[in-house]
Amino acid sequence: MLDYRILSINPGTGKASEKTLRNVSGAVEAGLTIHEEEASWDYPPLSRHNPLFIGIGPFAGGPLFGTHRVIAVFRSPISYGIHISAMGGAAYAFMRTGLHGITVVGSSSEPAIIQVFGGPSGLEVNVEYLEWKKLEEIYRSKPGGTRSLHKYIAKQLGEKAVKYKPRILLVGPGALATRFGGLFSWVPDSSGGPGHVVDSASRGGAGSVLAQGHGVVAIVVGGVGRPPNPVGRELVELTSRLLGGNFYKVLEKATVKYRYDSKLGTGGTFGVNYVHYRELVPALAYNTIYYSPGVRLALHEKIMRSFWKPFQEWVFLSGTGKYWRTCGEPCSVVCKKLWRGVKIDYEPAHAMGPMIGVITLEDSARLVEKLDDYGLDAIEAGHMVAWLFDAMNKGILEPDEIGLSTKPVFDPVTLDEAASHGNALLASKIIDMVASRKGEHTSLIALEGLREAARILDELYETRVSKTGWSFKDLLVYAGFGKSGYFTPNYYWSPGVIAPLYVQGRYWTNYSPSYTDPEDYAVHSYNRAIAELAIDNAGICRFHRKWAERILDELYKELYGLDEGIYERAKKTYRRIALYQLRAGAEPQPWESRKTMDIVATMAAEIKVPGWEGIVGNYEAIRDWWIRFYSKIKELVGG
C-alpha cells in the first residue's frame, strides 16, 4: 500500500513539518485519519483546531484522464460533521509538489497565502501575509472577488508562475462572512491570470473553515518535482487490459453524457439533464413537486425555450468543441461548457435559474459569476434564495424585512422572461447582503446557517406562521444532522438526496427519481455511497466513474498490492465516518420539514408505487420510512 506523504503547515507561525501515513489508499482515508488523530470533533468547525486537509489520489501523475482531482476533508460548519469535497483538475499542479497532501493547522491573525512548490532541491514552502485593508481592496478591484485575488497572487509570483505552473486554491469574501464559502480555483490563462473555467470544492464550507478557522485566503501549489507515485504508459496498457478494450475508446463511451451525446444532440450536465429529466427537474423552491404533470410540462417548455435553447445554440450549434474546456488536466471529455465566457454546469446554473424562478440564461449566468467571485457554494445559495422567495410568497416574510422592494414572481403560469429578470435582480440583492453580512435576517443566515435561521425566524414571526400554516422550517428542504447541522440537497427530485446517510450534499447516495421500500432504497443508496467514496478517495473524477468503478479493485491490487479490495476498504472508511459523526454530535436526524417529507411522498405518488399510494400527507408513515431506512443503514454500516 501507499506511504502517504503529508505536509502540515501552521499559518500563524509559518512553520511546516512533514509526516508519513502508512498503509493509506487515498485522500479520504488520509484526511479522516488526521481528523481522528486530532480529535477534531471536540472543537467547533470554525476553529483553528479543525484541520483542513487537501490531498490527491494514488493515480495522479499518470496518463489516465480524470485522475487529478483534489479532495478536501474537514469538519463542516454546515453539517457539523466530517465532510469531503472535491475540486477538478487541480491535482495536475499539486502532484508536482511531490506531496500527497497538505494539512492546515493553527491560525493567522492576518490573511495568509501559503505557497508550496516542488523545487529542484526539494520543497519550497512560504507563508506570506496581507493586511486586512489590502485584502478588501483586492476583492473590490476588477474583475472582483476570487478572480481579483487570483490575479493579484499570480502577479506577485512573478517568475515562479512561469517556472512552477501553479494552481491557486483560494477563498472569496463570502468565506469570511458566511458558513458556506468554498475553495475555488481558476484555471490559469496563458498569462497566468484567471481564465474562463473555475472549479471548486464548495459543498460544506471548506472555504469558510480555511478563512475563518485558519486565517488563510489562498494555497498555491505546483512545482517541477516528480509526482509522489509516478506511473507511466504501462498504466494505460494495464487499464485497457482490465477493461477488455482500448482505454480511450472505453472512456469515450463511458463519458458520453459529459462530452456530447449524439442521441440527445447535447452534452454536459446542463445540456443533458433538462432533456433527460424533463418535468421531473425540481424548480421554484421545489414547489413543482405539488404541481400537476401538465403544469410541470408547461413550465419545462418555458425553461427549454428561454434557458436551455440559448445554451444549446451557443455551445453546440455554433461549432463543435469551440466552447468546450477541461478543468485543468488534459482530458478528452472536455466537460466544461462555456456560454458567452461563463462556465455553465447544471447545479450552479439551476440554483441561480429555475430553482429561484429565473428562466433567462443571461441572468442566471451573471448570478453564477457573482457567486464564483464571492466564493460561495451555489447549491446552498440557491436553496437560500428560493427559501426566502417562497417565504415571501407564502406571506410569512415581507420584502422590506430583507432589504427588497417587491416580492418575486413564483407562479409557474405567469412566470415569463420579464418576471425572470426581476427575480434575478432580487436574488442578486439577497446574495450581496448575505455575503457582506448586511441586514438583520441576512446576517443571521450568514452567521448561523439556514436550519438555525429557520428556527429563529419561526419564533420571531410566530403569529404569521400560525396564520398561514407554513413555517420557515417547513419551507426549507434539508437533511438534519445533530442539533444544528444540516445539508441542503443537490437538485434532484429524489428521496436519496435527503435520506439519513452519514454524508449528504454530495452524490454519495441514490439520487435517481425513484422510490422503493425504505430497506431496498437504503441498500441502493449505501452501495452508491461506497462506490462514490472509493472514487473520491482515489482522486478520480466522478464523470469517469462508469469505467473507473469497474476496475478500481484490480488497479489497486496490481499497482499497490491491495488484496483486501478497495470497496471493502471503503466500507470500513464509511464506518469510521459514521463513528466520527456520532462523536461530533452530527448524527442524521428525523425529518423536521414538511416540504422535505413531501419530496419523498410525492415521488412515491408520481411513479405510483404499489403499497405507498396513500403516503402523501401521511407524515407518520413518511417518518416511519425514515426510521426504517436509517435502521437499515446502521445495519449495513455495522451497528
Dihedral angle sign, alpha carbons of residues 41, 34, 570, 205? positive
The torsion of the CA quartet 364, 368, 374, 380, rounded to 10 degrees, works out to 90
Evaluate whether 139 touches 111 at the Cβ level (below 8 Å): no
Count helices and strands (H / E) in the chain: 27, 18
Domains of the chain: 2-223 (3.60.9.10), 247-469 (1.10.569.10), 518-637 (no CATH)
CA 342 to chain centre: 18
Q: What's at 101, amino acid-wise?
A: G
Edge-to-edge strand order for the sheet containing 70-75? Answer: 15-24, 2-10, 101-104, 52-55, 70-75, 82-87
The torsion of the CA quartet 495, 497, 500, 502, rounded to 10 degrees, works out to 160
Question: What does the pLDDT look like over 358-392, one tens digit per residue?
Answer: 999 999 999 999 999 999 999 999 999 999 999 99
Cβ-in-10-Å burial (0-12, 13-18, 19+) of 129 comes to: middle
Low-confidence spans in the chain with pLDDT less than 70: 1, 320
| Distance separating alpha carbons of residues 159 and 165, to the nearest angstrom | 10
Q: Cis peptide leading into 513, omega within 30 of 0?
A: no
Count of Cβ atoms closer than 10 Å to residue 265 Cβ: 12
Count of Cβ atoms closer than 10 Å to residue 362 Cβ: 18
> Which cell is 254 given?
463511458
DSSP secondary structure, 380-439, as one string: HHHHHHHHHHHHHHHTSS-GGGGT-SSPPP--TTT--HHHHHHHHHHHHHHHHHHHTT-S
| Distance separating alpha carbons of residues 456 and 567, to the nearest angstrom | 42
User: pTM for the complete prediction?
Assistant: 0.97
Q: What's at 46, amino acid-wise?
A: L
Count of Cβ atoms closer than 10 Å to residue 217 Cβ: 30
| Distance separating alpha carbons of residues 168 and 150, to the nearest angstrom | 7
> Which cell is 319 given?
461549432
| Distance separating alpha carbons of residues 246 and 150, to the nearest angstrom | 39
pLDDT of the residue at 2: 83
Residues 6+ apart with CB under 8 A from 568: none
Q: State residue 321 phi and psi, 5-degree precision.
A: 85, -5
Report in angstroms the alpha-carbon separations of 163 from 118, 188, 327, 591: 11, 14, 21, 53
pLDDT of the residue at 14: 96
Q: State residue 126 phi and psi, 5-degree precision.
A: -135, 145
| Distance separating alpha carbons of residues 225 and 97, to the nearest angstrom | 6
Dihedral angle sign, alpha carbons of residues 520, 525, 530, 535? positive
Evaluate whether 215 touches 112 at the Cβ level (below 8 Å): yes
Evaluate whether 56 touches 94 at the Cβ level (below 8 Å): yes
Evaluate whether 412 touches 298 at the Cβ level (below 8 Å): yes
- b or e along 302-324 (b: 16 or more beta carbons within 10 Å of the residue's beta carbon)? bbeebbbebbbebbbeeeeeebb
Report in angstroms the alpha-carbon separations of 571 from 57, 141, 533: 18, 47, 9
| Distance separating alpha carbons of residues 495 and 290, to the nearest angstrom | 15
Evaluate whether 98 touches 229 at the Cβ level (below 8 Å): no
Give 223's strand partners. Answer: 118
pLDDT of the residue at 1: 62
Q: CA Rg, the chain, in Å?
A: 23
| Distance separating alpha carbons of residues 106 and 51, to the nearest angstrom | 8
> What does the H/E/C string look like for 331-383?
CCCCCEEEECCEECCHHHHHHCCHHHCCCCHHHHHHHHHHHHHHCECHHHHHH
